[in-house]
Structure 1
Amino acid sequence: MRQLLTAICAGVIGLSAIQASIAETLSVSTLEWPPYTSGDLPKGGATTAVVKQAFEAAGMDVDVTILPWKRAISMAKDTDTVVAYYPGYHCRHVNGFVASDPIGNGPLGFAQNVNAPIDWQSVDDIGKQKLKVGTVLGYANTDEFDEKAGTGWIRAIPAPDDVTNLRKLARERIDMAVIDKLVLSYLLATEPSLDGLSETLAFNEKPLEDKTLYLCFNDDEAGRALRDKFNSGLAQVDVETIIDSYFKDEF
Protein backbone atom coordinates (compact mmCIF):
# COMPACT_ATOMS: atom_id res chain seq x y z
CA MET A 1 0.00 0.00 0.00
CA ARG A 2 2.80 2.39 0.92
CA GLN A 3 4.45 1.73 -2.47
CA LEU A 4 1.15 2.36 -4.25
CA LEU A 5 0.62 5.67 -2.44
CA THR A 6 4.20 6.65 -3.21
CA ALA A 7 3.66 5.89 -6.91
CA ILE A 8 0.39 7.84 -6.98
CA CYS A 9 1.98 10.84 -5.27
CA ALA A 10 4.92 10.74 -7.66
CA GLY A 11 2.51 10.64 -10.58
CA VAL A 12 0.54 13.60 -9.25
CA ILE A 13 3.71 15.59 -8.66
CA GLY A 14 4.96 14.73 -12.14
CA LEU A 15 1.65 15.76 -13.71
CA SER A 16 1.68 19.03 -11.78
CA ALA A 17 5.19 19.74 -13.01
CA ILE A 18 4.16 19.08 -16.60
CA GLN A 19 1.10 21.30 -16.23
CA ALA A 20 3.21 24.06 -14.70
CA SER A 21 5.67 23.77 -17.55
CA ILE A 22 2.89 23.95 -20.12
CA ALA A 23 1.34 26.92 -18.32
CA GLU A 24 4.66 28.78 -18.54
CA THR A 25 5.03 28.22 -22.28
CA LEU A 26 3.35 31.20 -23.91
CA SER A 27 2.66 32.25 -27.48
CA VAL A 28 3.01 35.80 -28.79
CA SER A 29 2.37 37.11 -32.28
CA THR A 30 4.29 39.47 -34.48
CA LEU A 31 4.63 40.41 -38.12
CA GLU A 32 7.29 40.01 -40.78
CA TRP A 33 9.14 43.30 -40.21
CA PRO A 34 12.87 42.86 -40.70
CA PRO A 35 15.27 43.72 -39.24
CA TYR A 36 13.13 43.94 -36.08
CA THR A 37 11.13 40.71 -36.53
CA SER A 38 11.38 38.00 -39.19
CA GLY A 39 11.17 34.26 -39.51
CA ASP A 40 14.11 34.41 -41.93
CA LEU A 41 16.52 36.24 -39.63
CA PRO A 42 18.76 34.81 -36.91
CA LYS A 43 16.98 34.80 -33.52
CA GLY A 44 13.85 36.01 -35.30
CA GLY A 45 15.13 39.58 -35.59
CA ALA A 46 16.52 42.15 -33.16
CA THR A 47 13.29 42.87 -31.27
CA THR A 48 12.36 39.21 -31.06
CA ALA A 49 15.75 38.59 -29.46
CA VAL A 50 14.84 41.13 -26.77
CA VAL A 51 11.38 39.65 -26.20
CA LYS A 52 12.69 36.10 -25.88
CA GLN A 53 15.49 37.06 -23.49
CA ALA A 54 13.07 39.04 -21.31
CA PHE A 55 10.63 36.13 -21.10
CA GLU A 56 13.51 33.78 -20.32
CA ALA A 57 14.71 36.08 -17.54
CA ALA A 58 11.17 36.00 -16.11
CA GLY A 59 11.21 32.20 -16.12
CA MET A 60 8.83 31.71 -19.04
CA ASP A 61 9.22 29.98 -22.39
CA VAL A 62 7.72 31.72 -25.41
CA ASP A 63 6.77 30.71 -28.92
CA VAL A 64 6.63 33.42 -31.58
CA THR A 65 4.04 33.25 -34.37
CA ILE A 66 4.53 35.46 -37.44
CA LEU A 67 1.34 36.67 -39.11
CA PRO A 68 0.09 39.60 -41.19
CA TRP A 69 -0.08 42.61 -38.86
CA LYS A 70 -3.87 42.81 -38.48
CA ARG A 71 -4.04 39.07 -37.94
CA ALA A 72 -1.26 39.25 -35.33
CA ILE A 73 -3.36 41.74 -33.37
CA SER A 74 -6.64 39.84 -33.76
CA MET A 75 -5.04 36.58 -32.63
CA ALA A 76 -3.99 38.26 -29.38
CA LYS A 77 -7.40 39.90 -29.05
CA ASP A 78 -9.77 37.08 -29.95
CA THR A 79 -8.04 33.80 -29.04
CA ASP A 80 -6.67 32.13 -25.94
CA THR A 81 -3.61 30.80 -27.75
CA VAL A 82 -1.79 34.13 -28.18
CA VAL A 83 -1.25 36.28 -25.08
CA ALA A 84 0.35 39.38 -26.65
CA TYR A 85 1.54 40.96 -29.89
CA TYR A 86 4.50 43.16 -30.80
CA PRO A 87 6.13 45.47 -31.73
CA GLY A 88 3.64 48.31 -31.36
CA TYR A 89 4.51 51.99 -31.33
CA HIS A 90 1.62 52.00 -28.87
CA CYS A 91 -1.00 49.43 -27.90
CA ARG A 92 -4.06 51.32 -29.11
CA HIS A 93 -4.41 49.66 -32.53
CA VAL A 94 -7.64 48.21 -31.17
CA ASN A 95 -9.23 48.61 -27.75
CA GLY A 96 -8.35 46.31 -24.90
CA PHE A 97 -4.55 46.16 -24.73
CA VAL A 98 -1.97 47.41 -22.26
CA ALA A 99 1.69 48.13 -23.04
CA SER A 100 4.79 46.58 -21.55
CA ASP A 101 7.82 48.61 -20.67
CA PRO A 102 9.80 49.60 -23.81
CA ILE A 103 11.36 46.75 -25.80
CA GLY A 104 13.35 49.03 -28.12
CA ASN A 105 12.90 51.98 -30.41
CA GLY A 106 12.91 52.87 -34.09
CA PRO A 107 13.43 56.19 -35.93
CA LEU A 108 10.26 56.82 -37.97
CA GLY A 109 10.31 59.26 -40.85
CA PHE A 110 10.07 59.49 -44.62
CA ALA A 111 11.82 57.91 -47.55
CA GLN A 112 12.27 60.35 -50.41
CA ASN A 113 13.44 60.27 -53.98
CA VAL A 114 16.77 62.13 -54.13
CA ASN A 115 15.69 63.61 -57.47
CA ALA A 116 12.76 65.31 -55.72
CA PRO A 117 13.78 65.92 -52.09
CA ILE A 118 11.16 67.08 -49.60
CA ASP A 119 11.55 70.15 -47.39
CA TRP A 120 9.20 70.13 -44.41
CA GLN A 121 9.30 71.45 -40.85
CA SER A 122 5.87 70.45 -39.54
CA VAL A 123 3.26 67.85 -40.40
CA ASP A 124 1.06 70.71 -41.62
CA ASP A 125 3.69 71.52 -44.26
CA ILE A 126 3.05 68.11 -45.83
CA GLY A 127 -0.63 68.94 -46.21
CA LYS A 128 0.04 72.44 -47.49
CA GLN A 129 2.32 71.11 -50.22
CA LYS A 130 -0.34 68.53 -51.19
CA LEU A 131 2.29 65.82 -51.10
CA LYS A 132 1.25 62.23 -51.84
CA VAL A 133 2.48 60.15 -48.92
CA GLY A 134 2.75 56.37 -49.06
CA THR A 135 1.66 54.60 -45.89
CA VAL A 136 1.31 50.91 -45.00
CA LEU A 137 -2.22 49.66 -44.44
CA GLY A 138 -2.88 48.98 -40.76
CA TYR A 139 0.34 50.56 -39.46
CA ALA A 140 0.25 53.30 -36.82
CA ASN A 141 2.47 56.31 -37.45
CA THR A 142 2.37 59.35 -35.15
CA ASP A 143 -0.89 60.52 -33.58
CA GLU A 144 -0.68 63.88 -35.37
CA PHE A 145 0.13 62.36 -38.75
CA ASP A 146 -2.60 59.73 -38.50
CA GLU A 147 -5.18 62.26 -37.35
CA LYS A 148 -4.48 64.60 -40.27
CA ALA A 149 -4.31 61.72 -42.72
CA GLY A 150 -7.68 60.60 -41.38
CA THR A 151 -9.24 63.99 -42.11
CA GLY A 152 -7.75 64.05 -45.61
CA TRP A 153 -5.51 67.04 -44.87
CA ILE A 154 -2.56 64.77 -45.62
CA ARG A 155 -2.93 62.79 -48.84
CA ALA A 156 -2.10 59.36 -47.47
CA ILE A 157 -2.00 56.58 -50.06
CA PRO A 158 -1.98 53.15 -48.37
CA ALA A 159 -0.07 50.17 -49.72
CA PRO A 160 0.19 46.59 -48.46
CA ASP A 161 3.87 46.89 -47.47
CA ASP A 162 6.98 49.08 -47.42
CA VAL A 163 8.46 47.52 -50.55
CA THR A 164 5.44 48.53 -52.62
CA ASN A 165 5.75 52.09 -51.36
CA LEU A 166 9.45 52.25 -52.17
CA ARG A 167 8.93 50.97 -55.70
CA LYS A 168 6.22 53.61 -56.22
CA LEU A 169 8.52 56.26 -54.79
CA ALA A 170 11.32 55.28 -57.15
CA ARG A 171 8.91 55.77 -60.07
CA GLU A 172 7.74 59.09 -58.52
CA ARG A 173 4.14 57.90 -58.26
CA ILE A 174 4.22 59.19 -54.68
CA ASP A 175 6.27 62.02 -53.18
CA MET A 176 7.40 60.33 -49.98
CA ALA A 177 6.74 57.21 -47.91
CA VAL A 178 6.47 56.77 -44.16
CA ILE A 179 9.07 54.22 -43.08
CA ASP A 180 11.41 53.27 -40.28
CA LYS A 181 15.00 54.30 -41.01
CA LEU A 182 16.49 50.89 -40.21
CA VAL A 183 13.82 49.13 -42.27
CA LEU A 184 14.69 51.35 -45.24
CA SER A 185 18.38 50.52 -44.92
CA TYR A 186 17.64 46.82 -44.57
CA LEU A 187 15.31 46.70 -47.58
CA LEU A 188 17.69 48.63 -49.83
CA ALA A 189 20.44 46.17 -48.89
CA THR A 190 18.48 42.92 -49.19
CA GLU A 191 15.30 43.25 -51.29
CA PRO A 192 15.90 42.09 -54.90
CA SER A 193 13.11 44.25 -56.36
CA LEU A 194 14.87 47.35 -54.98
CA ASP A 195 18.26 46.43 -56.39
CA GLY A 196 20.10 49.49 -57.64
CA LEU A 197 17.86 52.00 -55.85
CA SER A 198 20.17 52.81 -52.94
CA GLU A 199 21.36 55.89 -54.87
CA THR A 200 17.80 56.93 -55.71
CA LEU A 201 16.01 56.52 -52.38
CA ALA A 202 17.12 58.01 -49.09
CA PHE A 203 15.82 58.76 -45.61
CA ASN A 204 14.72 62.37 -45.20
CA GLU A 205 17.00 63.99 -42.63
CA LYS A 206 14.06 65.21 -40.50
CA PRO A 207 12.39 62.31 -38.63
CA LEU A 208 8.76 62.21 -37.64
CA GLU A 209 9.63 60.64 -34.29
CA ASP A 210 12.04 58.25 -32.63
CA LYS A 211 9.37 55.69 -31.84
CA THR A 212 9.32 53.51 -28.74
CA LEU A 213 8.34 49.88 -29.24
CA TYR A 214 6.15 47.82 -26.90
CA LEU A 215 4.79 44.31 -26.34
CA CYS A 216 0.99 44.56 -26.07
CA PHE A 217 -0.93 42.40 -23.58
CA ASN A 218 -4.67 42.02 -23.08
CA ASP A 219 -5.92 44.62 -20.62
CA ASP A 220 -7.51 42.19 -18.19
CA GLU A 221 -6.37 40.66 -14.90
CA ALA A 222 -4.49 37.79 -16.53
CA GLY A 223 -2.96 40.02 -19.20
CA ARG A 224 -1.79 42.62 -16.71
CA ALA A 225 -0.26 39.91 -14.53
CA LEU A 226 1.66 38.55 -17.54
CA ARG A 227 2.70 42.09 -18.47
CA ASP A 228 4.08 42.64 -14.98
CA LYS A 229 5.96 39.34 -15.03
CA PHE A 230 7.38 40.13 -18.49
CA ASN A 231 8.45 43.57 -17.26
CA SER A 232 10.27 41.95 -14.34
CA GLY A 233 12.28 39.89 -16.84
CA LEU A 234 12.80 42.87 -19.12
CA ALA A 235 14.31 44.80 -16.21
CA GLN A 236 16.97 42.09 -15.94
CA VAL A 237 18.25 42.47 -19.52
CA ASP A 238 19.93 45.37 -21.31
CA VAL A 239 17.70 46.12 -24.30
CA GLU A 240 20.10 48.53 -25.96
CA THR A 241 23.02 46.14 -25.68
CA ILE A 242 21.00 43.23 -27.11
CA ILE A 243 19.94 45.30 -30.12
CA ASP A 244 23.35 46.86 -30.72
CA SER A 245 25.02 43.47 -30.52
CA TYR A 246 22.45 41.99 -32.87
CA PHE A 247 23.08 44.51 -35.63
CA LYS A 248 26.83 44.29 -35.10
CA ASP A 249 26.86 40.48 -35.28
CA GLU A 250 24.24 39.86 -37.95
CA PHE A 251 24.59 42.70 -40.46
Structure 2
Amino acid sequence: MLKTGLGKVLLVLGIVLLWGQSLLLQAEEPELALPQSIEISTGEWPPFLGEDLPEQGVIARLIRDIFAQENISVQFTFLPWNRAMHDTLNGKYAATAIWMFQDDRAKNFLYSQAVLDEKFVFFHLKSSPFYWQELTDLQGMLVGGVSGYSYGPEFDTAVKNFIIGLDSVGSGEQNFRRLALGRVDVVAEEISVGYHMLRQRLPDIADLITHHPQPLLINQSFLLFPKAQPQSAALNELFNRTLADFRVTGRYDSYFESLTTADIGTFYLSN
Protein backbone atom coordinates (compact mmCIF):
# COMPACT_ATOMS: atom_id res chain seq x y z
CA MET A 1 0.00 0.00 0.00
CA LEU A 2 2.80 2.41 0.88
CA LYS A 3 4.63 1.79 -2.38
CA THR A 4 1.44 2.19 -4.40
CA GLY A 5 0.58 5.45 -2.67
CA LEU A 6 4.09 6.82 -3.13
CA GLY A 7 3.97 5.91 -6.81
CA LYS A 8 0.75 7.85 -7.24
CA VAL A 9 2.22 10.89 -5.52
CA LEU A 10 5.33 10.78 -7.72
CA LEU A 11 3.16 10.45 -10.83
CA VAL A 12 1.07 13.48 -9.88
CA LEU A 13 4.21 15.49 -9.10
CA GLY A 14 5.65 14.55 -12.49
CA ILE A 15 2.51 15.68 -14.30
CA VAL A 16 2.47 18.98 -12.40
CA LEU A 17 6.14 19.55 -13.23
CA LEU A 18 5.60 18.91 -16.93
CA TRP A 19 2.56 21.19 -16.98
CA GLY A 20 4.54 23.95 -15.28
CA GLN A 21 7.38 23.62 -17.77
CA SER A 22 4.87 23.82 -20.62
CA LEU A 23 3.39 27.03 -19.24
CA LEU A 24 6.86 28.48 -18.78
CA LEU A 25 7.81 27.72 -22.36
CA GLN A 26 4.58 29.29 -23.63
CA ALA A 27 5.20 32.40 -21.54
CA GLU A 28 8.70 32.70 -22.95
CA GLU A 29 7.48 32.51 -26.57
CA PRO A 30 7.37 36.06 -27.97
CA GLU A 31 4.08 37.30 -29.39
CA LEU A 32 3.97 37.64 -33.15
CA ALA A 33 4.87 41.26 -33.90
CA LEU A 34 2.50 42.91 -36.36
CA PRO A 35 4.01 44.93 -39.20
CA GLN A 36 4.04 48.72 -39.20
CA SER A 37 2.87 48.74 -42.80
CA ILE A 38 1.08 46.34 -45.13
CA GLU A 39 0.27 46.17 -48.83
CA ILE A 40 -3.22 45.24 -50.01
CA SER A 41 -4.13 44.25 -53.56
CA THR A 42 -7.34 45.39 -55.17
CA GLY A 43 -9.01 46.15 -58.50
CA GLU A 44 -10.82 49.08 -60.07
CA TRP A 45 -14.40 49.44 -58.86
CA PRO A 46 -15.34 53.12 -58.65
CA PRO A 47 -16.58 54.81 -56.58
CA PHE A 48 -15.58 52.24 -53.95
CA LEU A 49 -12.05 51.57 -55.22
CA GLY A 50 -10.03 53.34 -57.87
CA GLU A 51 -6.40 54.30 -58.29
CA ASP A 52 -7.28 57.79 -59.57
CA LEU A 53 -10.16 58.50 -57.18
CA PRO A 54 -9.79 60.87 -54.22
CA GLU A 55 -8.03 58.79 -51.52
CA GLN A 56 -8.34 55.83 -53.95
CA GLY A 57 -12.05 55.42 -53.20
CA VAL A 58 -14.22 55.28 -50.14
CA ILE A 59 -13.45 51.63 -49.30
CA ALA A 60 -9.70 52.21 -49.60
CA ARG A 61 -10.05 55.17 -47.23
CA LEU A 62 -12.12 53.14 -44.77
CA ILE A 63 -9.67 50.22 -44.71
CA ARG A 64 -6.69 52.56 -44.45
CA ASP A 65 -8.25 54.45 -41.52
CA ILE A 66 -9.15 51.25 -39.68
CA PHE A 67 -5.56 50.02 -39.76
CA ALA A 68 -4.27 53.50 -38.93
CA GLN A 69 -6.16 53.23 -35.64
CA GLU A 70 -3.80 50.36 -34.83
CA ASN A 71 -0.71 52.22 -36.10
CA ILE A 72 -0.46 50.19 -39.29
CA SER A 73 -0.13 52.05 -42.58
CA VAL A 74 -1.67 50.61 -45.75
CA GLN A 75 -0.61 50.86 -49.36
CA PHE A 76 -3.02 49.70 -52.09
CA THR A 77 -1.79 48.12 -55.31
CA PHE A 78 -4.32 48.13 -58.16
CA LEU A 79 -4.30 45.09 -60.42
CA PRO A 80 -6.66 43.11 -62.64
CA TRP A 81 -9.00 41.35 -60.21
CA ASN A 82 -7.86 37.81 -60.98
CA ARG A 83 -4.22 38.75 -60.55
CA ALA A 84 -4.97 40.51 -57.24
CA MET A 85 -6.49 37.30 -55.92
CA HIS A 86 -3.70 35.09 -57.31
CA ASP A 87 -0.81 37.20 -56.04
CA THR A 88 -2.32 37.58 -52.58
CA LEU A 89 -2.87 33.84 -52.33
CA ASN A 90 0.81 33.38 -53.14
CA GLY A 91 1.96 35.70 -50.38
CA LYS A 92 2.81 38.86 -52.28
CA TYR A 93 0.23 40.94 -50.40
CA ALA A 94 -1.07 40.91 -46.83
CA ALA A 95 -4.71 41.00 -47.97
CA THR A 96 -6.95 41.67 -50.95
CA ALA A 97 -10.02 43.91 -51.09
CA ILE A 98 -12.96 43.42 -51.51
CA TRP A 99 -14.68 40.19 -52.47
CA MET A 100 -18.03 38.48 -52.06
CA PHE A 101 -18.14 35.17 -50.22
CA GLN A 102 -17.52 31.95 -52.12
CA ASP A 103 -16.90 28.53 -50.59
CA ASP A 104 -13.82 27.86 -52.70
CA ARG A 105 -12.19 31.09 -51.56
CA ALA A 106 -12.83 30.23 -47.90
CA LYS A 107 -10.47 27.27 -48.28
CA ASN A 108 -7.50 29.58 -48.75
CA PHE A 109 -8.54 32.89 -47.18
CA LEU A 110 -9.79 34.25 -43.88
CA TYR A 111 -12.81 36.48 -44.37
CA SER A 112 -13.12 39.71 -42.43
CA GLN A 113 -16.43 40.99 -41.15
CA ALA A 114 -18.47 42.55 -43.96
CA VAL A 115 -16.84 45.73 -45.21
CA LEU A 116 -19.58 46.76 -47.64
CA ASP A 117 -23.25 46.06 -48.24
CA GLU A 118 -23.71 46.40 -51.99
CA LYS A 119 -27.21 47.38 -53.11
CA PHE A 120 -28.19 46.29 -56.61
CA VAL A 121 -31.23 47.96 -58.17
CA PHE A 122 -32.92 48.27 -61.55
CA PHE A 123 -32.13 51.46 -63.48
CA HIS A 124 -34.66 52.66 -66.03
CA LEU A 125 -35.46 55.64 -68.23
CA LYS A 126 -37.34 58.45 -66.52
CA SER A 127 -39.58 58.55 -69.58
CA SER A 128 -40.58 54.90 -69.03
CA PRO A 129 -42.15 54.49 -65.58
CA PHE A 130 -41.17 51.17 -64.08
CA TYR A 131 -42.59 49.31 -61.10
CA TRP A 132 -41.74 45.93 -59.73
CA GLN A 133 -42.36 43.98 -56.54
CA GLU A 134 -41.77 40.39 -57.61
CA LEU A 135 -39.40 39.20 -60.30
CA THR A 136 -42.40 37.89 -62.22
CA ASP A 137 -43.30 41.57 -62.77
CA LEU A 138 -40.39 41.71 -65.22
CA GLN A 139 -41.84 39.00 -67.44
CA GLY A 140 -41.61 40.07 -71.07
CA MET A 141 -38.92 42.67 -70.32
CA LEU A 142 -35.24 42.58 -71.27
CA VAL A 143 -32.72 43.20 -68.48
CA GLY A 144 -29.23 44.47 -69.24
CA GLY A 145 -26.52 42.73 -67.24
CA VAL A 146 -22.73 42.35 -67.21
CA SER A 147 -21.16 39.12 -68.43
CA GLY A 148 -20.05 36.83 -65.60
CA TYR A 149 -22.15 38.60 -62.95
CA SER A 150 -24.73 36.90 -60.80
CA TYR A 151 -27.58 38.99 -59.46
CA GLY A 152 -28.59 36.44 -56.86
CA PRO A 153 -29.93 32.86 -56.98
CA GLU A 154 -33.57 33.94 -57.30
CA PHE A 155 -32.77 36.12 -60.30
CA ASP A 156 -30.60 33.42 -61.88
CA THR A 157 -33.41 30.89 -61.50
CA ALA A 158 -35.91 33.29 -63.08
CA VAL A 159 -33.59 33.71 -66.08
CA LYS A 160 -33.07 29.95 -66.34
CA ASN A 161 -36.84 29.42 -66.32
CA PHE A 162 -37.36 32.10 -69.00
CA ILE A 163 -39.35 34.32 -66.64
CA ILE A 164 -36.81 37.12 -67.16
CA GLY A 165 -34.91 37.92 -70.32
CA LEU A 166 -31.25 38.75 -69.62
CA ASP A 167 -28.87 40.21 -72.21
CA SER A 168 -25.33 40.58 -70.85
CA VAL A 169 -22.47 42.64 -72.25
CA GLY A 170 -18.93 43.42 -71.17
CA SER A 171 -19.48 46.54 -69.05
CA GLY A 172 -22.02 48.61 -67.18
CA GLU A 173 -21.35 51.59 -69.46
CA GLN A 174 -22.48 49.56 -72.47
CA ASN A 175 -25.67 48.71 -70.60
CA PHE A 176 -26.54 52.32 -69.87
CA ARG A 177 -25.92 53.25 -73.50
CA ARG A 178 -28.27 50.45 -74.55
CA LEU A 179 -30.84 51.62 -72.02
CA ALA A 180 -30.74 55.16 -73.42
CA LEU A 181 -31.24 53.75 -76.93
CA GLY A 182 -34.16 51.55 -75.83
CA ARG A 183 -32.37 48.30 -76.54
CA VAL A 184 -32.96 47.01 -73.00
CA ASP A 185 -35.84 47.86 -70.68
CA VAL A 186 -33.91 48.04 -67.40
CA VAL A 187 -30.32 47.66 -66.21
CA ALA A 188 -29.28 45.72 -63.10
CA GLU A 189 -26.41 47.50 -61.34
CA GLU A 190 -25.06 48.38 -57.90
CA ILE A 191 -26.60 51.75 -57.06
CA SER A 192 -23.48 53.76 -56.20
CA VAL A 193 -21.49 52.18 -59.03
CA GLY A 194 -24.31 52.96 -61.45
CA TYR A 195 -24.64 56.62 -60.51
CA HIS A 196 -20.88 57.10 -60.50
CA MET A 197 -20.76 55.66 -64.00
CA LEU A 198 -23.54 57.92 -65.20
CA ARG A 199 -22.24 61.16 -63.69
CA GLN A 200 -18.55 60.66 -64.31
CA ARG A 201 -18.44 58.74 -67.60
CA LEU A 202 -21.85 59.18 -69.26
CA PRO A 203 -22.95 62.76 -68.48
CA ASP A 204 -24.75 63.07 -71.82
CA ILE A 205 -27.36 60.49 -70.79
CA ALA A 206 -27.21 60.73 -66.98
CA ASP A 207 -30.27 62.96 -66.64
CA LEU A 208 -32.36 60.50 -68.66
CA ILE A 209 -31.97 57.67 -66.17
CA THR A 210 -33.18 56.92 -62.65
CA HIS A 211 -33.70 53.78 -60.58
CA HIS A 212 -36.41 51.90 -58.74
CA PRO A 213 -35.77 52.04 -54.98
CA GLN A 214 -36.53 48.40 -54.22
CA PRO A 215 -33.28 46.41 -54.00
CA LEU A 216 -32.79 43.52 -56.37
CA LEU A 217 -29.95 42.17 -54.23
CA ILE A 218 -28.05 43.13 -51.08
CA ASN A 219 -24.61 41.58 -51.35
CA GLN A 220 -21.86 41.74 -48.75
CA SER A 221 -18.17 42.05 -49.60
CA PHE A 222 -15.14 41.31 -47.43
CA LEU A 223 -11.43 41.85 -46.95
CA LEU A 224 -9.55 38.57 -47.49
CA PHE A 225 -6.38 37.47 -45.67
CA PRO A 226 -4.38 34.46 -46.98
CA LYS A 227 -4.46 31.61 -44.47
CA ALA A 228 -0.89 30.61 -45.32
CA GLN A 229 0.55 33.83 -43.92
CA PRO A 230 1.37 33.69 -40.18
CA GLN A 231 0.15 37.23 -39.46
CA SER A 232 -3.21 36.89 -41.21
CA ALA A 233 -5.25 35.74 -38.21
CA ALA A 234 -3.96 38.56 -36.01
CA LEU A 235 -4.49 41.19 -38.74
CA ASN A 236 -8.00 39.92 -39.37
CA GLU A 237 -8.86 40.00 -35.68
CA LEU A 238 -7.50 43.52 -35.33
CA PHE A 239 -9.36 44.70 -38.42
CA ASN A 240 -12.66 43.18 -37.30
CA ARG A 241 -12.42 44.68 -33.84
CA THR A 242 -11.79 48.19 -35.14
CA LEU A 243 -14.40 47.88 -37.90
CA ALA A 244 -16.96 46.96 -35.22
CA ASP A 245 -15.97 50.08 -33.27
CA PHE A 246 -16.44 52.22 -36.39
CA ARG A 247 -19.94 50.82 -36.84
CA VAL A 248 -20.96 51.31 -33.20
CA THR A 249 -19.81 54.93 -33.13
CA GLY A 250 -21.42 55.80 -36.47
CA ARG A 251 -18.08 56.58 -38.08
CA TYR A 252 -18.56 53.77 -40.61
CA ASP A 253 -21.68 55.40 -42.07
CA SER A 254 -19.92 58.71 -42.53
CA TYR A 255 -17.67 57.24 -45.22
CA PHE A 256 -20.63 56.69 -47.52
CA GLU A 257 -22.47 59.96 -47.02
CA SER A 258 -20.51 61.59 -49.85
CA LEU A 259 -21.33 58.84 -52.33
CA THR A 260 -25.00 58.99 -53.03
CA THR A 261 -28.29 60.40 -51.95
CA ALA A 262 -29.82 57.77 -54.17
CA ASP A 263 -33.20 57.73 -52.43
CA ILE A 264 -33.96 61.00 -54.20
CA GLY A 265 -32.14 60.00 -57.35
CA THR A 266 -29.14 62.34 -57.20
CA PHE A 267 -25.48 61.52 -57.02
CA TYR A 268 -22.29 63.37 -56.27
CA LEU A 269 -18.70 62.77 -55.24
CA SER A 270 -16.86 64.91 -52.74
CA ASN A 271 -13.34 66.05 -53.56
SS at match of 1:125: helix
Percent identity over paired residues: 25
- Is the 8 Å Cα contact of residues 169 and 175 (structure 1) preserved in structure 2? yes
**Partner residue, 1:85:** 96
Distance in 1 of aligned mates of 2:166 and 2:52:
30
Distance in 2 of aligned mates of 1:165 and 1:142:
19
Question: Compared with structure 1, are the counterparts of its residues 74 and 159 closer, same or farther at alpha carbon in structure 2 (3 Å cutoff)?
Answer: farther
- Is the 8 Å Cα contact of residues 57 and 236 (structure 1) preserved in structure 2? no
Unaligned runs of 5+ in 2: 1-32, 261-267
Establish whether residue 241 from structure 1 lines up as the match of residue 233 from structure 2.
no
Establish whether residue 229 from structure 1 lines up as the match of residue 238 from structure 2.
yes
**Partner residue, 1:11:** none
- Is the 8 Å Cα contact of residues 169 and 177 (structure 1) preserved in structure 2? yes
Q: Which one-letter code corresponds to 2:91 in the other structure?
A: D
Indicate the structure (1 or 2) with the bigger Cα radius of gyration. Answer: 2
Distance in 2 of aligned mates of 1:199 and 1:98:
42
41-50 or 132-141, which deviates more = 132-141
Following superposition, the deviation at residue 109 of structure 1 comes to 0.6
Distance in 1 of aligned mates of 2:269 and 2:212:
27
Distance in 1 of aligned mates of 2:103 and 2:176:
24
* 1:36-75 CA distance string (max 9 Å, x none): 1111111111111111111222332222122333443333
The structure 1 residue matched to 2:60, chosen from 42, 48, 56, is 48
Q: Normalising by the residue count of structure 2, what TM-score does the alignment of the two structures yield?
A: 0.70
Unaligned runs of 5+ in 1: 1-19
SS at match of 1:72: helix
1:154-193 equivalences in 2 (<5 Å)? 154-191=164-201
Question: Compared with structure 1, are the counterparts of its residues 221 and 28 closer, same or farther at alpha carbon in structure 2 (3 Å cutoff)?
Answer: closer
175-184 or 91-100, which deviates more = 91-100
- Is the 8 Å Cα contact of residues 98 and 222 (structure 2) preserved in structure 1? yes
Question: Compared with structure 1, are the counterparts of its residues 92 and 130 closer, same or farther at alpha carbon in structure 2 (3 Å cutoff)?
Answer: farther
Question: Compared with structure 1, are the counterparts of its residues 98 and 145 closer, same or farther at alpha carbon in structure 2 (3 Å cutoff)?
Answer: farther
**Partner residue, 2:69:** 57
Q: Which one-letter code corresponds to 1:203 in the other structure?
A: H
The structure 2 residue matched to 1:132, chosen from 142, 154, 157, is 142
Following superposition, the deviation at residue 81 of structure 1 comes to 1.0
**Partner residue, 1:206:** 214
Distance in 1 of aligned mates of 2:36 and 2:227:
19
Distance in 1 of aligned mates of 2:214 and 2:64:
33
Distance in 2 of aligned mates of 1:144 and 1:218:
31
Distance in 2 of aligned mates of 1:67 and 1:141:
24
Corresponding residue pairs, total: 225
Between the two structures, name the one with larger relative contact order (CA 8 Å, sep ≥ 6).
1
